[in-house]
Amino acid sequence: MLVGALLLNWGVKRLVVGKIESGLEAQGWSAEVGDFDYSIANKEVEIRNFTGVPMDARQLKEVGEVQVEHARVRFDNSREDKLGELELRGAKARFGQLDEMMLVPEKSISVKGFVLNNPAEFGGGPLLDFKEIQLHYGDLKVKGREHFETVLIDVARLNIVKNKQGLWLTDLSSKAQETIRKDDESPTVDQLTIRIGDIAFQDLSTGAGPKVIPMNRTIKVENNPKDYALGVFLQLIGIVSEAKQRSGY
Protein backbone atom coordinates (compact mmCIF):
# COMPACT_ATOMS: atom_id res chain seq x y z
CA MET A 1 0.00 0.00 0.00
CA LEU A 2 2.84 2.37 0.87
CA VAL A 3 4.58 1.54 -2.38
CA GLY A 4 1.36 2.24 -4.26
CA ALA A 5 0.98 5.62 -2.58
CA LEU A 6 4.57 6.53 -3.40
CA LEU A 7 4.11 5.50 -7.02
CA LEU A 8 0.88 7.52 -7.23
CA ASN A 9 2.62 10.56 -5.77
CA TRP A 10 5.48 10.17 -8.25
CA GLY A 11 3.03 9.78 -11.12
CA VAL A 12 1.10 12.91 -10.15
CA LYS A 13 4.32 14.91 -9.89
CA ARG A 14 5.52 13.80 -13.32
CA LEU A 15 2.11 14.54 -14.81
CA VAL A 16 2.09 18.08 -13.42
CA VAL A 17 5.72 18.67 -14.41
CA GLY A 18 4.85 17.52 -17.92
CA LYS A 19 1.92 19.94 -18.03
CA ILE A 20 4.11 22.81 -16.84
CA GLU A 21 6.75 22.07 -19.46
CA SER A 22 4.23 21.57 -22.29
CA GLY A 23 2.30 24.68 -21.23
CA LEU A 24 5.45 26.80 -21.41
CA GLU A 25 6.32 25.22 -24.74
CA ALA A 26 2.94 26.39 -26.04
CA GLN A 27 3.96 29.90 -24.93
CA GLY A 28 7.19 29.71 -26.91
CA TRP A 29 9.53 28.43 -24.21
CA SER A 30 11.65 25.31 -23.93
CA ALA A 31 11.53 24.45 -20.23
CA GLU A 32 12.82 21.81 -17.85
CA VAL A 33 11.72 21.33 -14.24
CA GLY A 34 14.28 19.63 -12.01
CA ASP A 35 12.07 18.81 -9.03
CA PHE A 36 8.46 19.44 -8.11
CA ASP A 37 6.38 19.15 -4.95
CA TYR A 38 2.89 20.12 -3.90
CA SER A 39 0.60 20.35 -0.90
CA ILE A 40 -3.14 20.05 -1.47
CA ALA A 41 -3.88 21.10 2.12
CA ASN A 42 -1.82 24.30 1.86
CA LYS A 43 -2.63 24.87 -1.83
CA GLU A 44 1.09 25.22 -2.52
CA VAL A 45 3.30 24.21 -5.41
CA GLU A 46 7.11 24.16 -5.22
CA ILE A 47 9.50 23.95 -8.15
CA ARG A 48 13.26 23.53 -7.87
CA ASN A 49 15.99 23.90 -10.47
CA PHE A 50 13.85 25.33 -13.24
CA THR A 51 15.50 26.15 -16.57
CA GLY A 52 13.74 27.91 -19.42
CA VAL A 53 14.88 29.21 -22.80
CA PRO A 54 12.70 31.32 -25.12
CA MET A 55 12.49 29.84 -28.60
CA ASP A 56 11.98 33.24 -30.24
CA ALA A 57 15.35 34.55 -31.46
CA ARG A 58 14.67 38.13 -30.33
CA GLN A 59 13.59 37.06 -26.85
CA LEU A 60 16.54 34.70 -26.62
CA LYS A 61 18.92 37.58 -27.34
CA GLU A 62 17.29 39.80 -24.71
CA VAL A 63 16.53 37.27 -21.99
CA GLY A 64 18.83 34.30 -22.59
CA GLU A 65 18.48 31.22 -20.43
CA VAL A 66 16.35 31.70 -17.31
CA GLN A 67 17.28 29.71 -14.21
CA VAL A 68 15.38 29.57 -10.92
CA GLU A 69 16.72 27.56 -8.00
CA HIS A 70 13.46 27.56 -6.06
CA ALA A 71 9.93 28.84 -6.66
CA ARG A 72 6.94 28.49 -4.36
CA VAL A 73 3.39 29.37 -5.37
CA ARG A 74 0.51 29.46 -2.91
CA PHE A 75 -3.02 29.88 -4.20
CA ASP A 76 -5.63 31.98 -2.44
CA ASN A 77 -8.40 30.17 -0.58
CA SER A 78 -11.08 32.32 -2.21
CA ARG A 79 -10.50 30.82 -5.65
CA GLU A 80 -8.40 27.93 -6.92
CA ASP A 81 -6.61 29.90 -9.62
CA LYS A 82 -6.07 33.11 -7.61
CA LEU A 83 -2.46 33.69 -6.61
CA GLY A 84 -1.93 34.10 -2.88
CA GLU A 85 1.88 34.28 -2.70
CA LEU A 86 4.81 33.89 -5.03
CA GLU A 87 8.33 33.30 -3.72
CA LEU A 88 11.44 33.09 -5.91
CA ARG A 89 15.00 32.32 -4.87
CA GLY A 90 18.17 32.24 -6.92
CA ALA A 91 16.82 33.52 -10.25
CA LYS A 92 19.15 34.37 -13.15
CA ALA A 93 18.76 35.63 -16.71
CA ARG A 94 20.82 37.63 -19.17
CA PHE A 95 19.40 40.94 -17.89
CA GLY A 96 20.25 40.23 -14.25
CA GLN A 97 19.68 38.10 -11.19
CA LEU A 98 18.03 38.16 -7.77
CA ASP A 99 18.58 36.38 -4.49
CA GLU A 100 14.98 36.34 -3.35
CA MET A 101 11.57 37.84 -4.04
CA MET A 102 8.26 37.59 -2.20
CA LEU A 103 5.09 38.79 -3.90
CA VAL A 104 1.70 39.01 -2.20
CA PRO A 105 -0.70 40.39 -4.85
CA GLU A 106 -2.20 43.78 -4.01
CA LYS A 107 -0.38 43.77 -0.65
CA SER A 108 3.40 43.80 -0.94
CA ILE A 109 6.49 43.07 -3.01
CA SER A 110 9.84 42.37 -1.36
CA VAL A 111 13.05 41.91 -3.35
CA LYS A 112 16.55 41.33 -1.98
CA GLY A 113 19.86 41.05 -3.78
CA PHE A 114 18.62 42.17 -7.20
CA VAL A 115 21.20 42.99 -9.88
CA LEU A 116 20.14 44.61 -13.17
CA ASN A 117 22.76 44.35 -15.91
CA ASN A 118 23.95 46.97 -18.36
CA PRO A 119 23.01 46.57 -22.03
CA ALA A 120 25.43 44.42 -24.03
CA GLU A 121 26.84 47.49 -25.82
CA PHE A 122 27.87 48.80 -22.40
CA GLY A 123 29.67 45.64 -21.36
CA GLY A 124 26.73 43.66 -19.99
CA GLY A 125 27.99 43.84 -16.40
CA PRO A 126 25.98 45.06 -13.39
CA LEU A 127 24.27 48.43 -13.82
CA LEU A 128 22.23 48.57 -10.63
CA ASP A 129 22.96 46.48 -7.55
CA PHE A 130 19.90 46.73 -5.31
CA LYS A 131 20.30 45.81 -1.68
CA GLU A 132 16.54 45.64 -1.35
CA ILE A 133 13.26 46.87 -2.80
CA GLN A 134 10.12 47.04 -0.67
CA LEU A 135 6.68 48.05 -1.94
CA HIS A 136 3.54 48.09 0.19
CA TYR A 137 0.24 48.68 -1.56
CA GLY A 138 -2.35 51.16 -0.36
CA ASP A 139 -6.00 50.25 0.03
CA LEU A 140 -7.37 51.61 -3.23
CA LYS A 141 -6.22 52.94 -6.56
CA VAL A 142 -6.02 56.73 -6.68
CA LYS A 143 -7.22 58.39 -9.89
CA GLY A 144 -7.12 55.01 -11.60
CA ARG A 145 -3.43 54.50 -10.82
CA GLU A 146 -1.73 52.03 -8.50
CA HIS A 147 -1.39 53.33 -4.97
CA PHE A 148 1.52 52.48 -2.68
CA GLU A 149 1.70 53.43 0.97
CA THR A 150 5.48 53.03 1.08
CA VAL A 151 8.20 52.38 -1.47
CA LEU A 152 11.82 51.74 -0.47
CA ILE A 153 14.55 51.37 -3.10
CA ASP A 154 17.98 50.75 -1.59
CA VAL A 155 20.76 50.84 -4.21
CA ALA A 156 24.05 49.47 -2.94
CA ARG A 157 25.91 50.49 -6.10
CA LEU A 158 25.23 52.14 -9.44
CA ASN A 159 27.74 51.39 -12.21
CA ILE A 160 28.00 53.97 -15.00
CA VAL A 161 29.92 52.69 -18.02
CA LYS A 162 31.47 54.41 -21.02
CA ASN A 163 31.43 52.00 -23.95
CA LYS A 164 34.18 51.45 -26.50
CA GLN A 165 32.46 53.87 -28.89
CA GLY A 166 32.92 56.70 -26.36
CA LEU A 167 29.29 56.92 -25.20
CA TRP A 168 28.39 57.09 -21.52
CA LEU A 169 25.18 55.33 -20.54
CA THR A 170 24.08 58.57 -18.85
CA ASP A 171 24.24 60.30 -22.26
CA LEU A 172 20.87 58.64 -22.88
CA SER A 173 19.29 60.32 -19.85
CA SER A 174 17.65 63.09 -21.91
CA LYS A 175 15.49 60.49 -23.67
CA ALA A 176 14.53 58.95 -20.34
CA GLN A 177 13.68 62.39 -18.96
CA GLU A 178 11.39 63.12 -21.90
CA THR A 179 9.66 59.76 -21.45
CA ILE A 180 9.04 60.48 -17.76
CA ARG A 181 7.81 63.99 -18.57
CA LYS A 182 5.18 62.62 -20.95
CA ASP A 183 4.14 59.74 -18.69
CA ASP A 184 1.22 60.57 -16.40
CA GLU A 185 0.72 56.95 -15.32
CA SER A 186 3.20 56.92 -12.43
CA PRO A 187 1.71 55.22 -9.36
CA THR A 188 0.66 57.38 -6.43
CA VAL A 189 3.01 57.00 -3.46
CA ASP A 190 2.46 58.18 0.11
CA GLN A 191 6.11 57.77 1.07
CA LEU A 192 9.00 57.10 -1.32
CA THR A 193 12.56 56.54 -0.12
CA ILE A 194 15.54 55.98 -2.42
CA ARG A 195 18.98 55.29 -0.98
CA ILE A 196 22.12 55.50 -3.10
CA GLY A 197 25.31 53.95 -1.71
CA ASP A 198 28.24 53.92 -4.14
CA ILE A 199 28.43 55.15 -7.73
CA ALA A 200 31.16 53.69 -9.93
CA PHE A 201 32.46 54.90 -13.30
CA GLN A 202 34.35 52.81 -15.82
CA ASP A 203 35.71 53.53 -19.31
CA LEU A 204 35.71 50.25 -21.23
CA SER A 205 37.92 51.69 -23.97
CA THR A 206 40.88 52.02 -21.58
CA GLY A 207 40.62 48.63 -19.90
CA ALA A 208 40.98 50.30 -16.49
CA GLY A 209 38.94 49.19 -13.50
CA PRO A 210 36.00 51.18 -12.11
CA LYS A 211 36.41 54.27 -9.94
CA VAL A 212 34.07 53.89 -6.98
CA ILE A 213 32.69 57.04 -5.33
CA PRO A 214 30.87 56.65 -1.99
CA MET A 215 27.79 58.91 -2.03
CA ASN A 216 25.41 57.62 0.66
CA ARG A 217 22.53 59.88 -0.32
CA THR A 218 18.83 59.54 0.43
CA ILE A 219 15.92 60.93 -1.57
CA LYS A 220 12.55 61.16 0.18
CA VAL A 221 9.20 62.12 -1.29
CA GLU A 222 5.94 62.23 0.65
CA ASN A 223 2.25 62.69 -0.13
CA ASN A 224 2.51 62.15 -3.89
CA PRO A 225 3.41 65.66 -5.15
CA LYS A 226 2.66 66.53 -8.76
CA ASP A 227 5.29 65.29 -11.24
CA TYR A 228 7.21 63.60 -8.42
CA ALA A 229 8.71 61.02 -10.79
CA LEU A 230 10.41 63.72 -12.86
CA GLY A 231 11.62 65.46 -9.70
CA VAL A 232 13.15 62.24 -8.38
CA PHE A 233 14.80 61.56 -11.74
CA LEU A 234 16.38 65.03 -11.79
CA GLN A 235 17.67 64.54 -8.24
CA LEU A 236 19.24 61.24 -9.28
CA ILE A 237 20.88 62.91 -12.29
CA GLY A 238 22.29 65.55 -9.94
CA ILE A 239 23.77 62.92 -7.62
CA VAL A 240 25.32 61.06 -10.56
CA SER A 241 26.76 64.31 -11.97
CA GLU A 242 28.35 65.15 -8.62
CA ALA A 243 29.86 61.68 -8.36
CA LYS A 244 31.19 61.91 -11.92
CA GLN A 245 32.93 65.20 -11.14
CA ARG A 246 34.49 63.68 -8.04
CA SER A 247 35.69 60.69 -10.07
CA GLY A 248 37.68 62.90 -12.43
CA TYR A 249 35.82 61.78 -15.57
Q: What is the mean pLDDT of each run of 10 residues along the chain (249 residues)?
A: 36 44 63 78 83 83 88 76 84 93 92 92 91 90 78 96 86 60 71 96 90 97 83 91 93
Sheet holding 96-104, edge to edge: 29-39, 44-54, 66-75, 83-93, 96-104, 108-117, 126-137, 147-162, 188-203, 211-222
Burial of 15 (0-12, 13-18, 19+ CB in 10 A): exposed
Q: Delimit the domains of the chain by residue range.
A: 1-55+65-88, 106-248
CB within 8 Å of 171: residues ≥ 6 apart: none
pLDDT value at residue 57: 84
Q: Name every residue whose Cβ is closer than 8 Å to that of residue 177 and which is 6 or more positions away in sequence.
A: 230, 233, 234, 237
In this prediction, residue 15 carries a pLDDT of 40
Please give the model's pTM, rounded to 2 decimal places: 0.82
What pLDDT, on a 0 to 100 scale, did the predictor assign at position 76? 77
Task: Show the CA angle centred on residue 25, arms to residues 23 and 29, nearest 5°.
Answer: 120
Question: DSSP character for 185?
Answer: -
- Is residue 115 a contact partner of residue 98, using CB atoms and an 8 Å limit? yes
pLDDT at 182: 54
- The pLDDT of residue 119 is 86
